[in-house]
Amino acid sequence: MTDHNGFSETECALIAQSIEGLTARIQTQCIKQTKSYLELFTGDVADYSSDFKPIMALFQQRYSRRDWRSEIDQIRQSLRQAKAVVISITSPDYPEQLKFIGAPPPLLYVMGNLNNLHLPQIAIVGSRRMTRVGGTNARDWAKFLAGSGFVVTSGLALGVDGAAHQGALQAVNGKTIGVMATGIESVYPPKHHNLACQIVASGGTLVTEFHFGGKPLARHFPQRNRIISGLSLGVLVVEAAVKSGSLITARCAMEQNREVFAIPGSIHSPQSKGSHLLIKQGAHLVETAADIVAELGGALAGMKNSISAAQDQSSVMAKILTDEEQQVLEILGYEPIDLDGLMRFSPWSVAKLSQILVALELKNTVANDNGFYQRLV
C-alpha cells in the first residue's frame, strides 16, 4: 500500500517514529482508529472524532514538512547493507502473539527467517553468571524443546541465554530467535557476534525494536524482555537471582498471560533464589523438558490458525511423517487417551513420546485436549 508520493505503509511507520512524544502506546491507540500509518498521514481528518483530530493533525503536519526524506533513504540503505527488513505492526508479517501485549513495538527490525516469528516459541532465560549445572540444563532443555518443534527464543546475553541458543542449534532442524537490545546491525555482547551469525545461517532469526545505531543502554534490556515473553507461549527460567532481568521477563510473561516455568535448584545457591521465588508465586515447577511440552500442549492448539498459515513455508510443519511419528499414529485411535495410557503401548520413554506427540500436533495430525490425545487423520 502506497500513497500518491510512492511511500509505503512501512515507510510511513518509520516516519512516525521520528515524531517526538508519540510513544508505542500512543501509536497503538492511533492505529486502532485509522488501521494504517498511511491513513494516519494522508486520511481526511474530518472523518475522525474531535478528540483524535489533534493527534492526526500532528502526524500530517510532520508528514507535510518532508524533512524525513533523507532519514528514510538512510534507513533503506542500512537495511540493504545489514540484509534486514523492517515490519510495522500493521503488516501481516508482524507476529500475532506480540500484537496483544501492552504497548507492542510499532516496528520490528528482523534479520533471518521471518517465518519463525509465527511458529510456537518457548523463551529460555536465566542468569548471566550461570552455574555449570545451569549451563547444562539450558543447552539440554533447549535442544529437547527445539527438537520437539518449538522455536527457542532468548536474549543473546551471556550465560543461560547463550547456552539456550547453542542448545537449540544442536537439535535437528532446531531454530532459535535472538531478541536484541540494540540496533539490528550491532550484536551485544560483542562476544556473541559469531553466535548471532550462526543463528541466522542456520535458519534462525534476530529481531529488535531498536533503530539502527541503538546502543545497549540499561533501559533497553527491560524493554527487550517484554518482547521475549510476548513472542512466546511460555517462559522457562533456568537460573536467576532475586533481582535479575530474568525475573523481569517472567513478570512480563505473567502480565501477558503466558505460562511461566522454573527449574528448582539448591536452596544454598543465589542463582536459584529467583526461580524459587517464582515457584512460590505460582510458576510451574519443572523437572524435565517433557513437563513443558505436556503443559503447553493446550496452548499449541490455540495457535493452529497461525501455524497453518506458515505451514507451507516451514520444514517444521511438513506433512511428511517420520517412522516414529507414523508408529505413534498407529497406536493412537480416534478416541481421546492420556499420556499414561499411551505409555502402555509405547516403546519409548515419556520424554521421547512427548516429543513425538508435539511434532505430530504441529503437523495437524494429532489433537491435544487438556492432555488427552487423538488422531485427526
Q: What is the pLDDT of residues 221-233, one digit of tens each?
A: 999 999 999 999 9
Q: Grid coordinates standing for 205?
A: 532469526
CATH number at residue 131: 3.40.50.450
Q: Residue 297 — φ and ψ, nearest 5°?
A: -55, -45
The residue-averaged pLDDT of 8-18 equals 82
Rounded Cα–Cα distance for residues 117 and 10 (Å): 18
Q: What is the number of domains present in the chain?
A: 3
* pLDDT over 70 (residue 309): no
Of 287, 315, 343, the position where a domain reaches its end is 287
Rounded Cα–Cα distance for residues 91 and 108 (Å): 10
* pLDDT over 80 (residue 370): no
More confidently predicted of 26 and 120: 120
Residue 93 forms part of a structural domain: no
- Same domain for 222 and 313, yes or no, is no
* pLDDT over 90 (residue 217): yes
* pLDDT over 60 (residue 315): no
How, if at all, do strands 205-208 and 176-179 pair?
A: parallel
The parent domain of residue 74 ranges over 1-82
Of 287, 321, 356, the position where a domain reaches its end is 287
Separation in Å, CA 187 to CA 156, 157, 214, 230 = 8, 10, 10, 21
* Average pLDDT score, the chain: 86
Residue 5 forms part of a structural domain: yes
Radius of gyration of the CA atoms of the chain, in A: 22
pLDDT given for residue 170 in this prediction: 96
Query: Model confidence over 70-127: pLDDT tens digits?
Result: 888 888 889 899 999 999 999 989 998 899 898 899 999 999 999 999 989 999 999 9
Q: Residue 102 — φ and ψ, nearest 5°?
A: -70, 130
Of 287, 320, 340, the position where a domain reaches its end is 287
- Same domain for 194 and 47, yes or no, is no
- Same domain for 140 and 256, yes or no, is yes
153 SS3 class: strand
Rounded Cα–Cα distance for residues 224 and 257 (Å): 18
Share of the chain above pLDDT 90, in %: 48
Comparing C-alpha atoms, which of 47, 49, 38, 46 is closest to residue 3?
38
- Same domain for 211 and 355, yes or no, is no
- Same domain for 141 and 275, yes or no, is yes
pLDDT given for residue 302 in this prediction: 53
* pLDDT over 90 (residue 277): yes
pTM for this one?
Answer: 0.79
pLDDT given for residue 300 in this prediction: 62
pLDDT given for residue 373 in this prediction: 82
- Same domain for 319 and 278, yes or no, is no
Residue 101 forms part of a structural domain: no
Residue 314 forms part of a structural domain: yes
- Helix residue spans in the chain (DSSP H): 9-16, 24-34, 37-42, 53-65, 69-82, 96-99, 132-147, 160-170, 193-201, 220-231, 245-255, 270-280, 289-295, 297-302, 304-311, 323-331, 339-343, 350-362
Share of the chain above pLDDT 70, in %: 91
Residue 347 forms part of a structural domain: yes
- Same domain for 153 and 54, yes or no, is no
More confidently predicted of 124 and 328: 124
- Same domain for 72 and 124, yes or no, is no
Count the alpha carbons within 13 Å of 165 in the hemisphere toward its beta carbon. 26
The residue-averaged pLDDT of 234-247 equals 93
CB 88 within 8 A of CB 9: yes
The residue-averaged pLDDT of 44-53 equals 85
* pLDDT over 70 (residue 298): no
Comparing C-alpha atoms, which of 345, 343, 231 is closest to residue 294?
343
Comparing C-alpha atoms, which of 272, 342, 306, 40 is closest to residue 151?
306
- pLDDT tier at 311, thresholds 50, 70, 90: very low
* pLDDT over 80 (residue 208): yes
Burial 138-159 (b: 16+ CB within 10 A, else e): bbebbbbbbbbbbbbbbbbbeb
Residue 94 forms part of a structural domain: no
- pLDDT tier at 320, thresholds 50, 70, 90: low
9-16 and 53-65 helices cross at what angle (nearest 10)? 100
* pLDDT over 70 (residue 341): yes
- Same domain for 184 and 253, yes or no, is yes
- Same domain for 265 and 173, yes or no, is yes
- Same domain for 262 and 187, yes or no, is yes
Comparing C-alpha atoms, which of 151, 103, 153 is closest to residue 123?
153
pLDDT given for residue 308 in this prediction: 45
